[in-house]
Chain A
Amino acid sequence: GAGVSQTPSNKVTEKGKYVELRCDPISGHTALYWYRQSLGQGPEFLIYFQGTGAADDSGLPNDRFFAVRPEGSVSTLKIQRTERGDSAVYLCASSLTPRLAGNEQFFGPGTRLTVL
């Protein structure tokens, strides 16, 4: 079966531009997560969806960041007015419903975002 996929794999943009990053979770996984990883750091939590709703968005750094999952499957992370400090690898993960199964999250390969 297919794992978590993310597109694009690389994105280069200019400061101030808007970007969208896409995540396709594993089929049947109701939970979806976004993390970002900066050089030399571990992944840092951004947002967690259970179904279509954001159950926890406490990790979004500011209101330039927004994520949606309108049909409970594919998710899009949107960043407005990008800044150089937004440059990182953005990781998406999915899992089965945490309360019904283990808590293992399965990660995609990430999107490397570079803001010039």
Chain B
Amino acid sequence: DQQVKQNSPSLSVQEGRISILNCDYTNSMFDYFLWYKKYPAEGPTFLISISSIKDKNEDGRFTVFLNKSAKHLSLHIVPSQPGDSAVYFCAARSGQGGATNKLIFGTGTLLAVQP
């Protein structure tokens, strides 16, 4: 049972345009969401996060939106740059009163930004 889903395995965007990566989740106990970027042969790199008590968090070109009623979050990158080409993972943490800090990841979306 996939609790975090990224239904688009890949996305291609022109340089300078907006990239929108989507993520859906099923567990209403998730209290924190994160986006990671991964290049080949490297570990995931933290990008941006959002607490479940917020609906938006912005950091430079990256903005994450959270819609709790729809159990949906999205990552917006604007403007997109060729260096943004990578696999993007959505991850969620189950609160459980702080008993665990494990992350549950989606399967990733491969973003290709065309020059």
Contacts and interface: CB of A to CB of B under 8 A. Distances in A.
Interface of A: 4, 31, 33, 35, 40-45, 48, 55-56, 58-59, 91, 93, 95, 98-99, 102-110
Given A40-B107, A42-B108, A102-B49, A107 B99 contact: no
B98 A98 contact: yes
Contacts of A103: 32, 34, 49, 93, 101
Given A55-B101, A56-B102, 17 more contacts: A33-B103, A42-B4, A42-B91, A42-B105, A42-B108, A56-B100, A56-B101, A59-B102, A91-B43, A91-B44, A98-B101, A102-B49, A103-B34, A105-B46, A105-B101, A107-B46, A108-B43
Nearest to A43: B105
Interface of B: 4, 32, 34, 36, 41-46, 49, 89, 91, 93, 98-108
A6 to B, nearest CB: 8
B72 to A, nearest CB: 17
Nearest to B89: A42
19 contacts: A31-B101, A40-B107, A41-B107, A41-B108, A42-B105, A42-B106, A42-B108, A43-B103, A45-B103, A48-B101, A98-B101, A99-B98, A103-B93, A104-B49, A105-B103, A106-B46, A107-B44, A107-B46, A108-B43
Contacts of B4: 42
Report whether over half of chain A's contact residues are helix, strand or loop; otherwise say mixed. Answer: loop
Nearest to A3: B43
A45 B99 contact: no
Given A103-B34, A104-B34, A44 B105 contact: yes
